Structure 1
Amino acid sequence: MSYWSLITSAGLLVQFVMLTLVLASVFSWYFIFERVQFLSRAKKSNENFEERFWSGMDLTQLFRQVNASPDPDSGSEAIFRAGFKEFTRARQQAEMDPEATMTAIQRAMRVVTNKEEDKLDNHLSFLATVGSISPYIGLFGTVWGIMNSFIGLGNTAGQATLATVAPGIAEALIATAMGLFAAIPAVVAYNRFSHRAETLVGSYETFSEEFTSILHRQIHALSRKSTVSAAPSRPRTETGNSRPVGDSGLA
């Protein structure tokens, strides 16, 4: 007996189960390699951008640079671009409401954060599905194969020996082995990628809060400056004198 002969001699339903598990395993490994590369790029790009952000560079200049050549793998950069774009739009208005402006900025950054989180979680649901149902699919093929083997033994004349029972049971157990082969890497990869995605999302949220604090101070400073510049200037008079301050009294 060989593994290939056991697979080819199995029933059609068991072969279909094996083919399904092989395809699930192939797609799982493809998504595993794709997620490894994407999460590595996302972590590196995020660290590079935050290093530039906290280097003391002028935020307007940084916005122009990242807006000219955006990095699709950096979540913090996407959050920065969305928040600073709303800040620039509010700064160009004649009258700026600080609270309404901050609400708009936080909403824009929250939308981008959710999109970046979806990008990090991409394909993880497939890995979770393969990891959870592949053993059951393999077990179904095994049960079906063993059932057919015993039915065939019941229809044969004479005494059943181990040589006649072993091939049918062996070809049925291959389905379970293939189910475990597809499920174990998918479960390990899902747990690993979920942890890395949660770590990156936490860094995105931390950056969003810190950037919100910076913009909050800038907006209130601009609001106070615009209020002072718009206030009408009144001449102050000295007590007991009708002349304004600064008048020399010369004819």
Structure 2
Amino acid sequence: MNALPFQVIYAANPFIDAYVNSDVLGKLIFIALVLLSVVTWIIVVHKGWITYQAKTTSSQFKKKVTLGVSNILNIDAEAPPSSYPNPFLTLYRVLKEKTIEILEKNKHFGATGEEAPFLSPSDINIVESHLSTAVAQETKHLEKYLYLLATVVSLGPFLGLLGTVWGILTTFSHLQAETSASTNQMVLGGLSLALATTVLGLIDAIPALIGYNYLKNSIRDFSVEMECFSSDILAQVEMQYRKVDID
């Protein structure tokens, strides 16, 4: 009584049937395709969630910067207790650290009689280069492991094609060897392997392609937002600390 539902599921599932009736190489191809599918969905879900959280935390910190724009270097840069990245906070920390470092040097080596240290145009360029490096690092961190999706897009159909060719090859091999009823079963198993692996290869490649393009475009757009944020906070620092020459 309990075995009947399993038999119905087994008979109604062509993938299980193709896997059971395939040889060792066919089973290995099936396992590889299933693993590729698992890896694809893990990366898509994980990177999608990380990117979403990075945008959310950065948006929250941007509001804090907007409120404290009157004194850009006095904004609280302590990270809230969270395991998610906050690229805007990282960029602000780079700006604050490098700006204070340069101001201290200018104050130490500056001319006597100056009331407060200032930033020269070359100092602004130095801070800007550090911010550009930080943006590139944050983008690289968000794009980590995306190459695996691009690999699945190419590898999935090729593995499916390998299963297709192998299934057809075993089918013709059995047809040439015997003409018994058991051979007919083997022939059907070979054809089933050929078709099932093709479908699995496409099932792997299509979500990987969609996920890769979506994540790549999303991270690229967010990289532009990071560059804009860097320009905004750098402009605020320049307005407050750049020395104006008065003739």
Q: Report the TM-score range of the alignment, normalised by the length of the smaller protein.
A: 0.7 to 0.9
2:70 is the counterpart of 1:48: no
**Equivalent residues in 2 for 1:226-241 (5 A)?**
none
2:59 is the counterpart of 1:61: no
Q: Deviations over 1:54-95 (max 9, x none)?
A: 124532321xx2146587522122111101211111111232
When the two structures are superposed, what TM-score results if normalisation uses the length of structure 1? 0.79
Name the CA distance, whole Å, in 2 between partners of 1:195 and 1:5. Answer: 39
**Corresponding position of 1:92:** 104
Between the aligned residues of both structures, percent identity stands at 23
**Corresponding position of 1:80:** 92
**Equivalent residues in 2 for 1:1-251 (5 A)?**
3=14, 4-57=16-69, 58-62=71-75, 65-67=76-78, 69=80, 73-93=85-105, 94=107, 95=110, 98-157=120-179, 165-221=187-243
RMSD, matched Cα: 2.6
Unaligned runs of 5+ in 2: 1-10, 111-117
Name the CA distance, whole Å, in 2 between partners of 1:167 and 1:91. Answer: 75
Q: Deviations over 1:28-75 (max 9, x none)?
A: 11111111210110111111111111124532321xx21465875221
Q: Secondary structure at the match of 2:202?
A: helix
Name the CA distance, whole Å, in 1 between partners of 2:42 and 2:197. Answer: 21
Contact in 2 for aligned 1:67/1:81 (Cα 8 Å) = no
Higher radius of gyration, 1 or 2: 1
2:43 is aligned with what amino acid?
Answer: F
Aligned length: 223
**Corresponding position of 1:247:** none
Name the CA distance, whole Å, in 1 between partners of 2:81 and 2:202. Answer: 42
2:149 is aligned with what amino acid?
Answer: L
Name the CA distance, whole Å, in 2 between partners of 1:178 and 1:68. Answer: 44
**CA spacing shift, 1:80–1:164, aligned 2, 3 Å:** closer
What is the CA distance between 1:6 and its match in structure 2? 2.1
What is the CA distance between 1:152 and its match in structure 2? 1.0
Q: Secondary structure at the match of 2:159?
A: helix
Unaligned runs of 5+ in 1: 229-251
1:55 is aligned with what amino acid?
Answer: L
What is the CA distance between 1:216 and its match in structure 2? 2.3
Name the CA distance, whole Å, in 2 between partners of 1:199 and 1:88. Answer: 30
Contact in 1 for aligned 2:72/2:233 (Cα 8 Å) = no
